[in-house]
Amino acid sequence: MADILKTVTAGQVDVDRLPRHIAIIMDGNGRWATRRGLPRTAGHKAGAETFRRIATYCKNLGVQYLTVYAFSTENWKRSADEVGTIMGLLKRYLQEAVATMERDNIRLHFFGDMSPIDPELQALARETDEITEHLGADAFQANVCLNYGGRDEILRAARRFAEDCAAGKCAADELDDALFSSYLDSAGIPDPELIIRPSGELRLSNFLLWQCAYSEFYYTDVLWPDFDEAELEKAIVAYQARDRRFGGVKK
């Protein structure tokens, strides 16, 4: 831990003003592999290792929540081989998580519509949810967006609210930001203060559309497999230099 704080100091990160929640669009795996003459699947394997390393660094640094975009509702359009590789990597990660979550005091939660996902992967996700429930609320939490789309999340939340209204559990005129947020996949989790997108693309790609209303955005040309602790520090330093007014004016 002392080495981490020494490194952070050198990178000018203020550990007393860390974003509580960081979200990352893990982009650039395919291009990373293509530039090296490798199959796209090799990029996803490298990207999975980057996720493990960055999640560990966030935990040690003191960030409370990390949300990553692993597989979108649109990613089913990719080749069966690429989709199969991504799901296989997720399965391996979940198997490791089940064995180590309690030891490492790491909570794990999924955003997205899990119904089209392989039943074995769904079962592993449920197992991680059960372990998460037994861990303290102050433990580091990684959120994995799987078969996730921001518009899809909002639609699913709206349908659940409508169903509750029809069942007499609530009334339409009771709906406000806080109540609607409780129907989202991220219910109970603070909105991300910082959203990072590697790879040089300058768009959200349907990621956390409701939750990003007042997030700070950081873009970098570095491809996700090459994204390291130093790159994360650059993003946090940039975030800490922003003037966050939330629509108001500072006096």
Question: Would you please indicate which residues are annotated as catalytic (active-site) residues?
Answer: 27, 75
Return phi, psi of residue 216, to 5°: -90, 140
Question: Quick check: 215 and 246 in contact, CB under 8 A?
Answer: no
- Residue carrying structure tokens 């960055």: 54
